[in-house]
Amino acid sequence: MKALTGAVAVAVVLLLAPPATLAQAPLPVGEVNGVRVVREHGAVVVIFTAKAAKLYTRIAGKQVQVSCTEMTEGGSNGGRVGLRAPARRGKLVTGDKTRGMDYCRVWLAPHTLTRHGERTRVGRLLIVSVPLSQKGAVFLDEETKVTELVGVLAVAGIVKERQKLPGYPTHAQLIQRFPKAAGEVVALAAPGDTPPAKKVGYYSDGQEHIAVVTLSTSGRRLFVEAGADDFLSTNVAQYLFGERY
C-alpha cells in the first residue's frame, strides 16, 4: 500500500507540474532586414546592405543617432552617438567601443519640417533595431509583439468610441468594423486562453473586460488584460512603460 501511495503521489506531482518547454532554436542576431551591426577596430559600425537600400533612403544625408543598450538585472544601460549618414548608402561608424551590448538601434534624429508654410519640430524616429545577443533578440521580439497588442487595444478603443458602444467591442464587432484583421486577430473564449502562434487573441465581454494575448517567437505568453475599476493585469509592463534607448 505504501508503494502504491508513493506512486500516486508522484503521478499527482507530475500532473500538477508545468509542462516542460521544448528547446527553442536561437533567434538570429547581428542583422535585421539587411541592416548589420559589426565591429571594426573594436568600434560599433552599422552597415546597410543592398537588401536595406530602400530603408537607407530614409536617413541618407541626414542626422542620425545610433544607440546601443546593455540589459542588466536592474534595467538597462545605454549610450547614444550622433552622426550624419553618408548621402550614398554607406557605413555608420560610431566610434563606440563599449562591450557587452545586447542590441543597437538607429534613429532619425529630431528635426524640423516645414508643412503648409509652418515649421514643426518632429521627435526622433526609430529606423531599425538590431539584436546583438540572445537576450537582446528575445527583448526586441517581445517588444514587437507587444506593439501588436497595443495596436489591437487602440483599434478596440476606436471602435468603442465611434460606434458609441457601452463597452469594448466583441470580437465579432471588431472584425465587422475592420474585416482585414480577421486573419490576424482571433477570438478567445476566455481571457486566460492562448491563441495560435503568430496570431493575436482577443477577448471582450462587450463591457469593460478586455484581454489581448499573443505568443513570442520563443513561446512566451504575452498579455494585457483590463477591466472595471482601473483593473490592469499584464506581464509586459517593461515594454508598455519602459524607455526606449
Q: What is the pLDDT of residue 77?
A: 83
| pLDDT beyond 90 at 2 | no
Query: For 119, how many CA atoms within 13 A lie in the half-sphere containing its CB?
Result: 2
**Residue 48, number of CB atoms within 10 A of its CB:** 26
CB 126 within 8 A of CB 244: yes
Beta strands 185-187 and 200-204, pairing class: parallel
Which of residues 239 and 22 earns the better pLDDT score?
239
C-alpha cell at 34: 539587411
- Mean pLDDT, the chain, whole residue set: 89
User: pLDDT for 113-126, tens place per residue?
Assistant: 888 888 888 899 99
What mean pLDDT is predicted for residues 141-153?
97
Residue type, 71: M
pLDDT single digits (tens) 75-99: 778 889 999 999 999 999 999 999 9
pLDDT value for 131: 98
The pLDDT assigned to 6 comes to 37
Q: Is the pLDDT of residue 174 over 80?
A: yes
Domain 31-132: give its CATH code. 2.60.40
- Gap between the Cα atoms of 91 and 165, Å rounded: 52
Q: What is the DSSP string of 74-107?
A: TEEEEEEEEEEPPSSS-EEE---------EEEEE
Give yes or no for residue 74 having a pLDDT over 90: no
| Cα dist from 218 to 23, 59, 75, 93, 151, whole Å | 9, 32, 21, 32, 21
The helix/strand/coil state of 114 is strand
pLDDT at 209: 97
Collect all residues with Cβ–Cβ distance below 8 Å to 65 and sequence separation of at least 6. 80, 81, 82, 106, 107, 109, 124
Alpha-carbon gap, residue 157 to 184, rounded angstroms: 18
Per-residue pLDDT at 245 = 67
Instruction: Tell me what the mean pLDDT of segment 207-231 comes to.
Output: 95
* Residue in the structure block whose three cell numbers are 513561446: 219
Lowest mean pLDDT among 25-29, 30-34, 203-207: 25-29
pLDDT at res. 23: 54
Which stretch of DSSP H or E encloses residue 16? helix 2-16
The pLDDT > 90 percentage for the chain reads 77
Domain boundaries defined on the chain: 31-132, 139-241
Q: What is the pLDDT of residue 150?
A: 97
